[in-house]
Structure 1
């Protein structure tokens, strides 16, 4: 899928207004090794396991936010893992659990990330993660990928004890950058996060690396792109 680029007039407006980018973690870090590790631990059941684990992982974030019963994303991820093992009538050793969980702390970056970050920094664009990940998870992934120095302090949902798509979570961007929402581009990975960012009022770029359908929730991103080239074009 190619990039959906803004018009020339839109590009001029973007150059004038976009001063920072808030990134979802998976726009930068590739989550596919999680599925690879799952298949290694449970041959032949990897796809089913990964889908259930991921689904329950995010459902737990939404339910805990709605119920005001916060746990950080690392804990939620482990709870969802335990649920998945139980539901699928599997057994999980401590070693297997640790291997699966640690995958989330050493994710590779997508191939277009290093050069894109260099270009955005050259243009003077401020950057930070606005992520459900804990600060420790982000720090470990940044260290493993050698990306230190590009990002401002993490806007992890631990700061506000509410997961995306809560408006409380997205509000961290304007508060931390000291900018208006319309001056901050949000780079989303998941369809639901794309919608949430747009509902909040961010100029939103959906980096749709998985070629997924957009959720039918009455919101459209400003740009849909299969890679970070669309984000750079949107910034202008």
Structure 2
């Protein structure tokens, strides 16, 4: 279904949408044979939980430290002894995540519409990652929650895109693979596309995305003629 409304900018979630957070599985498996997939999954789930919990508690910690805490929790929960050297290797791998295969071409196909990242990550995590993967050439900005000290889906996070691009919220097309994130952006007022890579059910949050796609290669055809 085409999006029959003006779009002034396209804003992407980073982790899980542009970058594959589970590209660390191979290293997890090398360090903990037979546990790689499960460790990666637990790590990601706890990382997200900590963003929500710290926001509710009013106890912000930046995404790098939160990711570290989630890793140690996930390892302990699975009965794994995480040596400092192994932890350092895994955290370093998170700074070198691979983009999903279709992402570079999908971003290029959206030009000349301005494109940006809006992420829970820190600039120190995201800017080198965008540069080394070549995605920076397709992005006009990298916006993060760091200055706000609170995480998605707080409405103030999505307002960062409105402030940056100086346009109404519904002219921001927000794209995320996280259903709860797409719901948060839609609740704020953005036009939203949910990239449902895993065939998950729709979040029951009384808001629905404007479109659902399987991966980012299907995004450009949704846009109005430009």
Q: Please report the TM-score for the alignment, with normalisation by the length of structure 1.
A: 0.89
1:152 aligns with: 140
By how many angstroms is 1:230 displaced? Answer: 2.9
- Superposed CA RMSD in Å reads 1.5
Unaligned runs of 5+ in 1: none
For residues 11-48 of structure 1, the C-alpha deviation after alignment (integer angstroms, 9 at most, x for no partner) is 4x33xx10101100032112221222212211112233
Aligned partners of 1:20 and 1:183 also within 8 Å: yes
3-state SS, counterpart of residue 71 of structure 1: coil
* Distance in 1 separating the partners of 2:141 and 2:218: 25
Q: Please report the TM-score for the alignment, with normalisation by the length of structure 2.
A: 0.93
Match of 1:172 among 141, 148, 160: 160
For residues 63-85 of structure 1, the C-alpha deviation after alignment (integer angstroms, 9 at most, x for no partner) is 11111110111110001111122
Paired residues in the alignment total: 223
* Distance in 1 separating the partners of 2:151 and 2:171: 22
Query: Any runs of at least 4 consecutive aligned residues in structure 1 with deviations exceeding 3 A, and if so which?
Result: none
Q: Does 1:83 align with 2:73?
A: yes
3-state SS, counterpart of residue 37 of structure 1: helix
Match of 1:67 among 24, 36, 57: 57
1:45 aligns with: 35
2:187 aligns with: 199
Unaligned runs of 5+ in 2: none
For residues 106-137 of structure 1, the C-alpha deviation after alignment (integer angstroms, 9 at most, x for no partner) is 1122222222222212xx21111000111111
Aligned partners of 1:223 and 1:230 also within 8 Å: no
1:222 aligns with: 210
Structure 1 residues 88, 229: closer, same or farther in 2, change over 3 A?
A: closer
Aligned partners of 1:224 and 1:230 also within 8 Å: no
Match of 1:97 among 87, 103, 122: 87
* Distance in 2 separating the partners of 1:90 and 1:31: 20
Q: Does 1:109 align with 2:89?
A: no
